[in-house]
Amino acid sequence: MTLPRRLTVAALLACAAASAAAAELTATEQRWLKAGWPVVRYARQQQLPLDIIVQPGSKAGDAPLAMGYRRGQCLLVLTMRGNPGVDAALEGIAADLSPVVVEAMFAHEIAHCWRHANGSWHSPAPSVATGGGDATLAQAMRAMSDTRREEAYADLVALAWTQSHHPGRYAQVHAWLAAYRADQPVAEGHHDTRAWIQLAADPAVFSRGATPFEQAEPVWRAGLAPR
């Protein structure tokens, strides 16, 4: 069985673009890594336990970019070879905006790593319906709420990062993210972060905090408040 190519951030940071490690990557993988590299470098500066995994192939439904976890390590997973989701993720986005959007995607994933590394994952505990006394339904609703809240936090970190590093493109990235999250099969489902994205229409909401993680926190908590 072909194993995924594991690339430590330390090793990649030491590699030039023409190195052997880079030569093993496809053009698409190199393009995405180049766009997201400022986020990866920042994650290392924050001492996040991050490695990068490049998958040798893909299956239906695989996300091009995802965060995994193993033995205390965050794994940024690129699944791009033979994956139609790569083109779909950037469909309709102007060529000059694509790298900025990819950078925001990397910031989204790094936010997941930060929450894990800091012991904040799935906290504070959400208040959700009981499922009408059905324990299985209640568990499913809790899991959906947990995921939704983490996705919302990561979306806000992506926007905070964009505001800090590409303020002139904030409106475009915000519009892209709003459109990307607009099609939800279930209201308040796993990836329904629309309420939080709406709170971040004005980039000034990210004025507080030294890091994008801190800047996202008050906006995220405002979205947690019952309405």
Q: Kindly write down the DSSP assignment for every residue of 39-100, as one continuous string.
A: HHHHHHHTT--EEEEE-S---TT--SEEEEEETTEEEEEE--TT-THHHHHTTT--TTTHHH
Residues 84, 126 share a domain: no
Count of other CB atoms within 10 angstroms of residue 62: 18
Q: Is residue 114 part of a domain?
A: no
Confidence of residue 173 (pLDDT cuts 50, 70, 90): very high
pLDDT tens digits for range 15-57: 433 444 455 899 999 999 999 999 999 999 999 999 999 999 9
Largest CA distance in the chain: 60
Residues 21, 80 share a domain: yes
CA distance between the termini of the chain: 51
Q: How many domains does the chain have?
A: 2
Structural domain boundaries, residue 44: 5-89
| Predicted pLDDT at 140 | 72
Residues 126, 60 share a domain: no
Q: Which of 69, 89, 109 corresponds to the end of one domain?
A: 89
DSSP character for 225? S
Tokens of 106: 């990397």
Residues 33, 77 share a domain: yes
Q: Is residue 108 part of a domain?
A: no
Tokens of 28: 């698409």
Cα 165 from Cα 103, distance rounded (Å): 10
The alpha carbon torsion through 192, 112, 25, 166 (nearest 10 deg) reads: 80
Residues 163, 76 share a domain: no
| Predicted pLDDT at 134 | 72
Rg, the chain, Cα only: 18
pTM of the predicted protein model: 0.86
Q: Is residue 131 part of a domain?
A: yes
Residues 211, 160 share a domain: yes
Residues 72, 22 share a domain: yes
Q: Kindly write down the DSSP assignment for every residue of 174-195, as one continuous string.
A: HHHHHHHTT--SSTT-TT--HH
| Predicted pLDDT at 30 | 93
CA 73 vs. chain centroid, Å, equals: 16
pLDDT tens digits for range 92-142: 999 999 999 999 999 999 999 999 998 777 677 665 555 556 777 677 777
Q: Is residue 99 part of a domain?
A: no
Residues 45, 139 share a domain: no
Q: Which of 89, 108, 143 corresponds to the end of one domain?
A: 89
Identify any residues that bridge with 65 across adjacent strands, giving them in sequence order. 78
Identify any residues that bridge with 6 across adjacent strands, giving them in sequence order. 53
